Amino acid sequence: MKTESKFRLIIAEKPDAARRIATALGQKIISNPKRGELPLYEVTRNGERIKIMAALGHLYTLKQSGKGWDYPVFDVEWVPKYQAEKAAENTKPFIERFQELSRSTDSFIVATDYDIEGETIAYCILKYACGDEALRKAQRMKFSTLTDQELTEAYEHLLPQIDLRMAEAGETRHKVDWLFGINISRALILAVKRSTGRYRTLSTGRVQGPILAFIANRENAIRTFVPTPYWAINAKTEIEGRTFILEYSKDKIPTRNEAEQIIRKCRGKNGVVKEIDKKPTRNLAPYPFDLGALQTEAYRLFAFTPSRTLSIAERLYLAALISYPRTSSQKIPASLDPRRILESISRISSYQSLAAELLRKEKLIPNQGKKDDPAHPPITPTGVLPTHGALTGPEEKIYDLVVRRFMSIYGDPAVSESAKVTIEIGDEVFYLRGRRIIEKGWLKFYGPYFKSDEILLPEIREGQILEITECTAKDKHTSPPPRYNPSTLLKLMEEQEIGTKATRADIIDTLSRRGYVTGEHFTITDLGFAVIDVLRKYASQVLSVEMTRDLEQDMERIQSGKLKKEEVLSTTIDFLRPVLEKFKATEKVIGAELDEALQRVIRKSVTIGICPVCKTGELMIIRSRKTGKRFIGCTSFRNGNCSFSAPVPQTGVIQPTEKKCQTCGFPIIVVRMKGKRPWQLCINTKCECKSKLKAKAAE
């Protein structure tokens, strides 16, 4: 006869989630871990003992089966993360505790995030720490918020098992990305090492390569762009004491001669209002936030990178303030109760009147997009309110943005009116354009996040004579395409359907970490160009967007049961094998090309500019052999011609700029530290700008 388990084991993804689950389910708390202890909670519910144990995200990772550091390598297996990564030693006690707990129970409940990564995390813990029997028996809590109500409902209505197809899709994605990343990256590293004897960290990946190729193509387009000159004509008039700009009917005049002829025709003449055309426009409310839209909007408004926005959103989710952020849905589910959420957020004074206005509506009907996500709804507030002082400044910004977007989707359409006034100056036609908002609608809820572009015109009538105070032609040039920034690169990845909502932000960050791009508006470096050039010459297949997109679709087919993971892995190996064989045959040539680019990158990264003291030497970032500390020194020190030196921060990444201090003329450097916003620094320790900053701080 089967004996009942002594307790039920709930597997959470992170410590904060475990605490939330324990608080929601526990009618009585038996044990509550203290700071520094493993996040293992024990509670009772309806007389039943429940233990909730958290992971630290992934406790297992992929590692090569067998030894050696060559390529190609296609044998891979899951191992405890601490066995593969020295920095992951803290995962060992978590795995050991899961193993211990599994020996005392036969009742397992998965409560990791309900997505591919969450299911993969749970799958590995169950299979490798708890055993195949645990994997077979495990039930599933499915939730999109960490509110007490939703967690309780998820526990009371358990799914009979984990989503094995989702887990298989996640496992396959990890293995495919590992096969691409390890093999191509190793090929690059070993090409340099075997050619020069030097080890350099280089990498590329299934998605990283095609994205870097996009950036390289854009940079080439910018550098080869030949600007075309043209002339733009504007006139000025005064109406009721205000100056207005009149646009010429043709945007671009191709020659100076033609532009001057038009100016001569208009000189000394008044304008006559010939026609006034007014058109109302209904602007529907925005869609609910999916992750990509939230990241794009946060970059536009706050200059937050996609990865920073995701990190902040995850903290708000773990605090139960917003729903699960890794979603691609733009559709509000019928089960969501907007009135409950609005009634709750109305207790915050800044939302009180806005929420009250929506609550007076008979029906709350959201404006929704086409994208859907079967796992999670859009990002919305939960109705749980932040306690006073609990949120950091960036967290307050993202929370406010989510709340205002949520209210906006239930707002009425905004109505604006555009006006186009046709004005003739002699025989030449000009336009005066205006815009005004007639009905704010949803805009009042989005508040500070809507940028008004109103141009209010005075009363104008047909036949009215306008005095022209000025008519000029300005010479201009066509502009090259803009460089990508984190937001536009994220949009590109979404449009090309490569990467996932969970991985895109990290891929963008990796390009900067590897030194392939620099700056907020991504400028590809010599190293980035070298890697792309090498891959185009010797392994162009790995830069294929179509190949990457097809593999993404294969993951979806695994999840839907239309494809087996073994087929996808076999196809991946068949694709990579000839690519790597060709690469190996020419790796000495490849290594020499890469090393040359690396030397240029290294020199640029430590060269600050010409020394402003001696005017002949170069300022370089130097590391002292004696103390190990870095500083800025002049190369003329070697021949005794200059003794200038300057201290620099000993942590973080220092990047030269081409900027000069406006106060003293010395070079400006940028300091980047993990978790902090980069800041600019004048290297002159005696510069007056530093004393001004100290005085300002003292105030």
Catalytic residues: 324
Long-range residue pairs from 546-549, CB within 8 A, at least 24 positions apart, any chain = 547/575, 548/206, 548/207, 548/210, 548/498, 549/496, 549/497, 549/498
511: nearest Cα among 292, 306, 224: 306
Question: In b/e form, how buried is each residue of 203-235, taking b as 16+ CB within 10 angstroms?
Answer: bbbbbbbbbbbbbbebbeeeeeeeeeebbbbeb
Q: Which two tokens stand for residue 335?
A: 């089960």
Sheet of strand 645-647: strand arrangement = 607-610, 618-623, 630-634, 645-647
Q: Which two tokens stand for residue 56?
A: 């630290």
Angle at 223 between CA 217 and CA 227, to 5 degrees: 120
Q: What number of H helices and E strands is found in the chain?
A: 22, 24
DSSP strand pairing (468-477 vs 465-466): unpaired
Please tell me whether residue 605 adopts helix, strand or coil conformation. helix
CA atoms within 13 A on the CB side of 65: 7
Instruction: Give the helix/strand (H/E) hosting 610.
Output: strand 607-610
Long-range residue pairs from 548-555, CB within 8 A, at least 24 positions apart, any chain = 548/206, 548/207, 548/210, 548/498, 549/496, 549/497, 549/498, 551/176, 551/206, 552/497, 552/498, 552/499, 552/500, 553/497, 554/172, 555/116, 555/169, 555/172, 555/173
Q: Within a 10 A sphere around the Cβ of 661, how many other Cβ atoms?
A: 19
Instruction: Give the helix/strand (H/E) hosting 247.
Output: strand 242-248
DSSP string covering 217-245, please? HHHHHHHT--PPEEEEEEEEEEETTEEEE
Sheet of strand 271-283: strand arrangement = 465-466, 271-283, 414-425, 428-439, 242-248, 229-239, 468-477
Q: Which two tokens stand for residue 61?
A: 């990772």
Q: Within a 10 A sphere around the Cβ of 252, how many other Cβ atoms?
A: 14
Q: Strand ranges (DSSP E) for 46-197?
A: 48-54, 60-64, 76-80, 108-111, 139-140
Residue that the structure tokens 């094998």 belong to: 577
Q: Within a 10 A sphere around the Cβ of 17, how many other Cβ atoms?
A: 25
Q: Within a 10 A sphere around the Cβ of 643, how many other Cβ atoms?
A: 11
Q: Which amino acid, 695?
A: A
The sign of the torsion formed by the CA atoms of 149, 155, 159, 163 equals: positive
How do the residues of the chain divide into helix, strand and coil, expressed in percent and rounded to 5? 45, 20, 35
Torsions phi, psi of 675, nearest 5? 85, 0
Q: Which two tokens stand for residue 26?
A: 């526990």
Q: Which two tokens stand for residue 112?
A: 């990791």
Q: Do the beta carbons of residue 378 and residue 371 sit within 8 Å?
A: no
